[in-house]
Structure 1
Amino acid sequence: MDVLIGLFIIFVKLSLFSFGGGFVMVPIAMAELEANQWATAAELTDAVAIATMSPGPVGVNLAVALGFKVAGFAGAFAAFLGISLPTTMLVILVAAFFFKIYKHHLVTAAFHGLRPVITGIILYAAISLALKNGIILPASDKLILNGYNIFIKDIPIFELKSLAISLSIFLLLLRTAITPIFLIILSGFIGIVIF
């Protein structure tokens, strides 16, 4: 029962303070789940992949996947309630007032301040996941053994195959209209072939 309450509280906090979408909650979720020893960075990365390619909001999908990983169906339900209830209540409250004031110069200024912060948090999450999963600057115990690890003076710098996939997907997202869902599935098949 303590685990279910813990999951609920973690996802309530994430719901209340992860402005900008599901990917913004990744670094906070990572810290919380690792602190409780409920998930590793690799498991979180896998959950992010599943959440992203599943239909629905990434934040809710991620909460359900991580809740299930930690405590089965009951954990998935506790995490779902934790992520959904505060957001639903906030959206109803904000919607009641927002459309009356959204053109106010202070509201516009606040959003201009929030946008770069959200971008920075998402970038932090991406770099943090790359570090913790052995893609860049891996610790010796995080080396991708069947990868092509690049060293400088016996210091591991990056894993070439993973970095090539990451950069290729980034460029495809930047230059094409291909859906991320297709790119995630494609990357999984590429991983099967090259790893």
Structure 2
Amino acid sequence: MKTLITAGCLALASASAAAAHPHVFAEARLEVIIDDKGGVDQLRHVWRFDELFSSTVMLDFDANADLELEDDELAEVGTVIKDSLADYNYFTFVTKDGKEISVTPPDVIHADFQDGQLLLFFAVKPSEKMSLTGDMSFGTYDPTMYTAIEFFNDEDMVVKGNAGACSRKVIRPDADEIISQNQDMLTDAFFNDPAGNDSSKFFATRLQISC
């Protein structure tokens, strides 16, 4: 039981996922919450997974086989995912003036099932104080490249709260341009390194805030 998730972090965080292309797809929303002191308070995530992957989660966690996930079953999904993503910074990347900043674990990952698709809701906080100064970047990606987390619209990456005079821009990297500029590094050996790497962050959509 729970074969999908326990074998590969719901297939989301398998460090041995050597095939450098996604097998799981999720539509995402990211909200950067600004507190009343003008700092980054938290990052709120919403992920909606593809129907194929969602159906597998249903089979793994539907203990009473009624083709529905009750509250206790959904809570178990969230708990397993929370534990599995801990080593992957919850697929959240944050930088401030080029420095990478980790995030604290979410209190809980809420799971829901709507229209045949698994949804996850959770919030994380920067592990250190982040004032609205300089250049900041926020995004979501799977470092194993097993899961494709997509922001289909720029409006899916938002700032909530008073960001003052800071500018906001959604950056969508051009994959061909990145590969061309990093040919010496982005080799087959790099993508298939069994130890894993952060190659996917080069291609990930991100929200850039400049103050």
Q: TM-score range by the shorter chain?
A: under 0.3
If each structure's strand is expressed as a fraction of its own residues, which one has the higher value? 2
Higher-RCO chain (CA-CA 8 Å, sequence separation at least 6): 2
- TM-score (norm. length: structure 2): 0.25
The structure with the larger Rg is 1
